[in-house]
Structure 1
Amino acid sequence: MKATTATEGALGLLAELARERVGDGSLLLFEDQHWTGTQLAARASRLSAGLRDAGLRPGERVVVCMANCPEVGISYNAIWRAGAVVTPVLFLLGEPELRHVLVDSGARFVITTPDFLPKVLGAATGVPTVAAVIVAGVSDPATGAAGDGAAAPTVLDFTELEAGDEAGLVDTSPTEMAALLYTGGTTGRSKGVMLTHQALSAAARAAHLTQQSVPAEGRRRVGLSPLPLSHVYGLTVSVIGVHATQPATSVLMRWFDPVGLLTLVERHGVQTVTLVPSMIRMLLEAPVEEYDTSSLNKVYSGSAPLPRETALEWARRLPHSVLAEGYGCTEAAAIVTAHPGLTTRPGSVGLPSAGVELRIERPDGSAAAAAEDGEICIRGPMLMTGYWNAPEDTAWALRGGWLHTGDIGRLDKDGYLYVVDRIKNVIIRNGFNIYPRDVEDVLLAHPAVAACGVVGRPDPKVGEEVVAFVQLAPGAAATPEELVAYARERLSAVKYPREIRIIDAIPLTSVLKTDHKALRRSITG
């Protein structure tokens, strides 16, 4: 194979680079089992061959719906080796939300685990493009019956697909799409963000340079992240960065657990951890002083604003560990700004990452001055090519060659970014984006609901809690508890509203749209 680096070419090379660079050295640690570069590369190569034998063709989309485990990264690498496109989804998605992704993306295959198989089969049944559901972690997967009489997809065994010989790489251009990640767009509807091989590689390189600026003190770097590998940050850093550029061992958690995280830090001498603010809050509620965290020199925080009180408590209780806030978005492959080294600037989300240009734009489109608030705009090689099958939204978001984030911020005289507020109505709960319309559409399907509006309420534990205001239909009756239960059955655990307030009438704007600002004022004053 021609010597190259993943950041210069297609991501199908990642597993081979890991095999060449790490060999039989530890690349991944998961639930007390070490995985070497050779093992992971061989499994990805064999699975890629199995996927191609099953009918996967270059450019087709494969949805991956699993909790964190080695098979997630193996699947991603196998898909890229086949020249196909990774479509990661959070395993917490409800069946209707998952079905939307399958239909909209035109997915060819779904890879999952037994615990999510019933939901996946329910979502995939009747979707014409889905050829099969592949199940990892079970030797004899059973097919499920379709609830509406439609034929359920064929169920294939992950282990059998990777039982054959290794396969070569499909020639793929770095400018081709590598990942299709679903997030909310300018309308709040879930839409696919198209990221190329070179965009993800550029983001991984930027993350690597930030990591390298943290002193390793002569030891092999050990990083830990409990963030889902389906999240753009998990995809970029935990999968691409580890394989492509970082001479380190990555400690992977199936999901976040404060005591489990502290135990891993103590046991393996973890130096860096990536969290979201709600996780940091939960970590501080644990007895952190009872664990040896002396190796932990930096913790990265992102996805939501970090409360000042949380940062101060962290500095008091873990003074040896720098807590650094960063900023990113799916449309820029996660990495936009970061604090290099072990220094931070309070209140700031850091400096532009390698290759990133920032511009603060006034409403008239002109550039704002230093310290002036405006819309945060981004330019660089890590930007999306656009939204999947949404040319108008793409043109608006990328107007003038800059990604317009919909976030308000400012740059100081030294180039540090400060995020002031969000233009969009997006709610960020536990680091996950929740779009009010998704919740509103579910509630409006209830026969007792005439109108509704969904907003976020500030919450010290999860960042923002989902609150729904409901106007009942004339003569209808429903309690808040009944409506919460109704929504919980139809939305993911992250998304359903924990609080529902029944009011006489939903406030409207002058153009007869739900006045989310008025609803938020009724909560926050």
Structure 2
Amino acid sequence: MNAPGEHNLAVLAERAFERLGDYESLFFEGKWLTSAEIHERSVRVAGGLRAHGVRPGDRVVVLTSNTPEVFISYRAIWRAGAVATPVIFLQSPPELRHILSDSGATAAIISPELAGLFRGAADGLGITTFVIGENYAELEAGEPAGIEPRGDDDLAALLYTGGTTGRAKGVMLSHRGLWESGRGIDRATRTTTATRALLPLPLSHAYGLIVAIGEWHADRRHVFVLQRWFDPAGWVEMVAEHRLETSPVVPAMLPVLLAQPRGDRDLSSLQYFGSGGATLPPAVRVAAEKAFGVTVLQGYGCTESSGVVSTETMPEHRAGSVGKAAPHVEVRILDLAGKPVPAGEDGEICARGPGVMLGYWNDPELTAQTVRDGWLHTGDIGHLDEDGFLYVVDRLKDLIIRGGFNVFPRDVEDVLLEHPAVQLAACVGRPDAEHGEEVVAVVQLAPGQRVSGAELVEFTRARLARYKYPRQVTVLDAVPLTSVGKINRKAVRDLVRAGGGDES
């Protein structure tokens, strides 16, 4: 039998356990799990998967809220040589049906609260199903399994993009790509002394997945406190109770945490936040650093890059940037003609390296459009400065063209977030007969705050160029977000074009 590849994720996990030993490593809902317990359960689950017919290369769906079984299942799936297919738990039945059918999954591991949703969506597909707390025990009763050989470029994970602009696409990620991205995260965290982290992110998203893999590269014992899902009141409580030092977040979480009452809870143990998944408005970064006494380290990546392109570190961080390219990544900025642009000039962010996806599942045409000559075309606009720091400006597809002038939604959103009453903001273009597109925005106010849309229009008018400021700002009870906390621009566009919300 051939040996596993050098970057096999199951080998990485096993070596981490051998190197760091047994200790209390994961706290979840009142109970500690040791690293030995997690390792031994994963070895048995791998054997259980094999006994139930899962073969190397088979796709195994993981549809759960955050639980310890997510960590265990990922390890077991890779140990069995199968392909982890994480699915965000906030899916509609048609979206889930598409993912299950498109992936050709043979098995699934699900939370009991999602069993009804899953069974309805999976009807007739013949997927062997294991429910945590129910027949998942059958997997744990399996004989301990060794590591199935898989090459560095073999498929390790199939992640489906959010589908906010169309049907979700399966992104194929290799063992080496995820291995290298995990090492990129670990190298950034090594510039801090923090070892105790709160995980509120869905582990079924690329960002959460890479944070978990990063632990296996660590030279120190790391302790994780896991939230089933993001609970801001619980977040404050857990940080204080367990003296936690860091927490990976997406930008939309920070305004919610800033508004959360703390009472007499001591959060002074916090050292830094890792922020990724979307651009972080400067006003939110400044407010978070001041309120929590932390440094916010930003990173940048996308599912198609195995989650990591660039990271900030404690020694190297610069206001407004998302850090320098990770060691395994090359970054260049191209104009619309595909030619490199000088430092400081905006263009499309492109990345090359082992983290670039193997391709889109069952879609070679879209793969060829997105990855050209080994370079991933991210669809994001940004620039590099003279020192190699990367700055993300906006999504190319979100660009608003008003009367021939380019308007980046983020420029408008950053100004709106400077207003003390605004908690979240989203800017989009609305079709307009005179200007082609008109700049409009929606906002969500901080608790207890009141301000009218007209007042916010005047606020931005005084701070933005004439062609940039929004002609309409609509106050919403809640700005639409995706299941991973990003602004759902498709939903915002649909809303403003339908005239929803309150402009008063």
TM-score by length of 2: 0.78
**In the alignment, what sits opposite 1:189?**
167
**In the alignment, what sits opposite 2:416?**
none
**In the alignment, what sits opposite 2:147?**
169
Cα deviation for residue 497 of structure 1 reads: 4.5
When residues 317 and 349 of structure 1 are mapped into structure 2, their CA distance, relative to the original with a 3 A threshold, is same
When residues 187 and 296 of structure 1 are mapped into structure 2, their CA distance, relative to the original with a 3 A threshold, is closer
SS at structure 1 position matched to 2:113:
helix
SS at structure 1 position matched to 2:252:
helix
The structure 1 residue matched to 2:71, chosen from 66, 70, 73, is: 73
8 Å CA contact retained: 2:316, 2:323 = no
2:125 is aligned with 1:132? no
Q: Which piece of structure 1 moves more, 157-166 or 367-376?
A: 157-166
8 Å CA contact retained: 1:337, 1:349 = yes
**In the alignment, what sits opposite 1:330?**
303
Let me know the Cα RMSD of the aligned residues.
Answer: 3.3
Q: Which piece of structure 1 moves more, 39-48 or 21-30?
A: 21-30
* Aligned residue type for 1:176: D
**In the alignment, what sits opposite 1:471?**
none
* Aligned residue type for 2:265: Y
**In the alignment, what sits opposite 2:209?**
235
Q: Which piece of structure 1 moves more, 320-329 or 203-212?
A: 320-329
* Aligned residue type for 1:167: A
How do residues 213-224 of structure 1 correspond to structure 2 at under 5 angstroms?
A: 213-216=191-194, 221-224=195-198
* Aligned residue type for 2:19: R
The Cα offsets for residues 19-68 of structure 1, whole Å up to 9 and x where unpaired, read as 31233212222223222221111111111111111111110101100000
In structure 1, distance between residues paired with 2:171 and 2:27: 30
In structure 2, distance between residues paired with 1:460 and 1:375: 30
2:181 is aligned with 1:203? yes
8 Å CA contact retained: 2:87, 2:160 = yes
8 Å CA contact retained: 1:92, 1:493 = no
**In the alignment, what sits opposite 1:145?**
none
SS at structure 1 position matched to 2:239:
helix
How do residues 284-303 of structure 1 correspond to structure 2 at under 5 angstroms?
A: 284-288=258-262, 290-303=264-277
The structure 2 residue matched to 1:47, chosen from 33, 37, 45, is: 45
The Cα offsets for residues 338-389 of structure 1, whole Å up to 9 and x where unpaired, read as 2111653111111112221110001111101000010000111211111111
2:377 is aligned with 1:404? yes
8 Å CA contact retained: 2:80, 2:145 = no
The Cα offsets for residues 373-429 of structure 1, whole Å up to 9 and x where unpaired, read as 10000111211111111111111111122100001001111111111111124999x
Cα deviation for residue 290 of structure 1 reads: 3.3
Unaligned runs of 5+ in 2: 400-408, 411-425, 429-436, 447-479
8 Å CA contact retained: 1:193, 1:384 = yes
8 Å CA contact retained: 1:349, 1:417 = yes
In structure 1, distance between residues paired with 2:264 and 2:76: 41
8 Å CA contact retained: 1:8, 1:201 = no
8 Å CA contact retained: 1:46, 1:163 = yes
In structure 1, distance between residues paired with 2:268 and 2:392: 31
In structure 2, distance between residues paired with 1:461 and 1:193: 36
**In the alignment, what sits opposite 1:353?**
326
**In the alignment, what sits opposite 1:249?**
223
Q: Which piece of structure 1 moves more, 28-37 or 184-193?
A: 184-193
When residues 502 and 182 of structure 1 are mapped into structure 2, their CA distance, relative to the original with a 3 A threshold, is closer
2:337 is aligned with 1:364? yes
The Cα offsets for residues 447-500 of structure 1, whole Å up to 9 and x where unpaired, read as xxxxxx9x99554579xxxxxxxxxxxxxxxxxxxxxxxxx9xx9798794896
8 Å CA contact retained: 1:62, 1:79 = yes
8 Å CA contact retained: 1:223, 1:271 = yes
In structure 2, distance between residues paired with 1:459 and 1:7: 49
In structure 2, distance between residues paired with 1:20 and 1:458: 51
In structure 2, distance between residues paired with 1:222 and 1:118: 35
Aligned length, in residue pairs: 430
SS at structure 1 position matched to 2:230:
coil
How do residues 380-399 of structure 1 correspond to structure 2 at under 5 angstroms?
A: 380-399=353-372
8 Å CA contact retained: 1:174, 1:196 = yes
When residues 32 and 21 of structure 1 are mapped into structure 2, their CA distance, relative to the original with a 3 A threshold, is farther
TM-score by length of 1: 0.75
The Cα offsets for residues 281-333 of structure 1, whole Å up to 9 and x where unpaired, read as 10000124732222211111121222222122223322x31122221100111
Cα deviation for residue 7 of structure 1 reads: 9.5
**In the alignment, what sits opposite 1:445?**
none
Q: Which piece of structure 1 moves more, 77-86 or 341-350?
A: 341-350
* Aligned residue type for 1:84: A
How do residues 23-102 of structure 1 correspond to structure 2 at under 5 angstroms?
A: 23-102=21-100
The Cα offsets for residues 206-240 of structure 1, whole Å up to 9 and x where unpaired, read as 00000001134xxxx112221000000111112x1
In structure 2, distance between residues paired with 1:424 and 1:137: 43
